[in-house]
């Protein structure tokens, strides 16, 4: 059996049981025509990232049937380096969630590869679940706004790396929050993840936020000595709300770095701890409510007969029928926070505090190579537990991941032990464009 056929058959088999893929391609796309860094790898792509002629819905029913006429920059680069794209992965609709349970109407929730009664994490849940479950050489194109790469990677026991904002082109990405969205790699190990980052990084004239900064050979930093590197443990990230057993696993990872010669000290990030979550959700929802306005059934999104209807009536009908509950919640909160009379009190104030949060991080990177903390405060919760959570309790799950996302800082999660049979992730955060340090330190933890 050919590698291509084997890949698709395995994908279909896994998907029947775990629901990781919204779409499986008819044949692996183009990779077999090229030789490159990803030759021999299968690649899954988050459903928010465009792949030419493959249904791309952002996980929402409002885009069912949409087949892009272009490739995103990242999928084009993957194909050019020999990667075999096999399908589009399940996610929270438009990235709105931390568990991949807020899937679009008519779509299936992905199940954790270690326990089917638990969530994969979100919003790139399908990426993480499939990467963990497949037996083939595999990497995944994921995306993060407030933690959507490292959260599911932590819950599914794989490596996830969220790059610096601007490191990877967003051309061809369905937007959630333009100032926050970042495409990044997932893999079974640090080397595979670093390899995919090498392929997708670099300047792109088609995308205005893409930085023209030299790309390091990230995979060459795997296994490099970490002796003398200075790492700061974030004190607040080991406090209230963090499961003691999770913290214990992360402390063991810290000891491992100490044994390898890294210098560990403790720091405090009071602004991130106190205001990070509120600032993130105000800014992200404001941007989301603006971005989703285009899905009105006229230019974009599902359409129906509008004879005899005014714009407001038609627009409301299309969105009411096709957007899920969480999408509607975020649109309404975001619209409220940027309305005249409330903009100064919420949006502008949050933007100012974001600037201060960036400064708080930058001060630490004058002294340290990286910061370290748990990726998530808990192990992957059961679906029965998630059902009982309020929206606020759901949002609180992002408490440890929103900080580096707000600041546009690169961060990586490394599987470090298990609690009750479920994976735990340790997160390392580095200064802008210092992904190589994350690869170096991350591989020391493997």
Angle between helices 349-365 and 270-291 (to 10 degrees): 130
Exposure of 157 in the CB half-sphere (CA atoms within 13 A): 13
Q: Is the pLDDT of residue 239 over 80?
A: yes
**Percent of the chain scored above 70 by pLDDT?**
99
Query: What pLDDT, on the 0 to 100 scale, is given for residue 3?
Result: 77
pTM over 0.85: yes
Q: What is the pLDDT of residues 258-273, one digit of tens each?
A: 999 999 999 999 999 9
- Residue among 177, 163, 199, 189 nearest 72 (CA): 199
Catalytic residues: 46, 123, 148
pLDDT (0 to 100) of residue 31: 60
Q: Running DSSP on this structure, what letter comes out for residue 398? A: T
The mean pLDDT of 50-62, rounded to a whole number, is 97
**Sorting pLDDT into bands at 50, 70 and 90, what band is 201?**
very high
Vertex 67, ends 61 and 73: CA angle to 5°? 110
> Which CATH superfamily is 1-271+371-446 part of?
Amidase signature (AS) domain (3.90.1300.10)
Tell me, what DSSP letter sits at residue 348? I
Q: Give mean pLDDT, residues 150-155.
A: 98
Whether 30 has a pLDDT exceeding 80, the answer reads no
With cut-offs at 50, 70 and 90, classify the pLDDT of residue 203. very high
Name the more confident of 29 and 52: 52
Q: Mean of the pLDDT values across residues 417-436?
A: 98
Write down the pLDDT at residue 146. 97
Across 403-417, average pLDDT: 98
Residue 304 has pLDDT above 70, yes or no: yes
User: Does 355 have pLDDT greater than 90?
Assistant: yes
**pLDDT > 60? residue 1:** no
Nearest CA to 381 out of 413, 419, 412, 411 is that of: 419
DSSP states along 24-45: EEEEEESGGG--STTTT-EEEE
- Mean per-residue pLDDT for 149-161? 98
């Amino acid at each position: 059996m050919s590698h291509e056929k084997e890949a698709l058959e395995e994908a279909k088999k896994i998907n029947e049981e775990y629901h990781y893929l919204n779409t499986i391609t008819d044949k692996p796309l183009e990779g077999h025509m090229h030789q490159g860094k990803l030759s021999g790898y299968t690649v899954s792509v988050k459903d928010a990232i465009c792949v030419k002629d493959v249904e791309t819905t952002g996980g929402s029913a409002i885009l069912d049937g949409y087949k892009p006429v272009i490739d995103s920059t990242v999928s084009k680069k993957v194909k050019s380096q020999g990667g075999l794209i096999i399908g589009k992965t399940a996610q929270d609709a438009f990235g709105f969630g931390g568990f991949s349970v807020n899937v679009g109407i008519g779509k299936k929730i992905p199940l954790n590869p270690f326990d089917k009664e638990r969530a994969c994490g979100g919003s790139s849940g399908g990426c993480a679940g499939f990467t963990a479950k497949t037996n083939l050489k595999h990497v995944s194109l994921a995306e993060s706004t407030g933690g959507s790469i490292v959260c599911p990677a932590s819950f599914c026991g794989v490596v996830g790396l969220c790059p610096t904002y601007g490191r990877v082109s967003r051309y061809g990405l369905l937007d959630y929050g333009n100032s926050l969205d970042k495409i990044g790699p997932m893999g079974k190990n640090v080397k595979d993840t670093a390899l995919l980052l090498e392929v997708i990084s670099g300047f792109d004239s088609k995308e205005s936020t893409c930085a023209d900064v030299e790309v390091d050979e990230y995979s060459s930093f795997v296994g490099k000595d970490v002796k003398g590197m200075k790492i700061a443990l974030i004190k607040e990230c080991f406090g209230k709300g963090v499961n003691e057993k999770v913290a214990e696993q992360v402390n063991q990872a810290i000891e491992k770095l100490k044994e390898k010669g890294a210098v560990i000290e403790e720091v405090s990030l009071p602004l991130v701890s106190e205001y990070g979550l509120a600032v993130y959700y105000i800014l992200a929802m404001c941007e989301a409510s603006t971005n989703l306005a285009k899905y009105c059934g006229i230019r974009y999104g599902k359409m129906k007969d509008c004879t005899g209807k005014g714009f407001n009536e038609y627009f409301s009908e299309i969105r009411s029928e096709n957007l899920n509950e969480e999408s509607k919640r975020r649109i309404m909160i975001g619209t409220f926070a940027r309305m005249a009379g409330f903009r100064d009190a919420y949006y502008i104030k949050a933007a100012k505090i974001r600037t201060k949060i960036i400064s708080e991080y930058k001060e630490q990177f004058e002294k340290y190579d990286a910061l370290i903390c748990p990726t998530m405060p808990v192990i992957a919760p059961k679906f029965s537990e998630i059902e009982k959570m309020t929206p606020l309790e759901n949002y609180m799950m992002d408490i440890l991941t929103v900080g580096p996302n707000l600041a546009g800082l690169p961060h990586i999660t490394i599987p470090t032990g298990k609690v009750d049979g479920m994976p735990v992730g340790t997160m390392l955060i580095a200064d802008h464009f210092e992904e190589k340090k994350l690869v170096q330190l991350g591989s020391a933890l493997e």
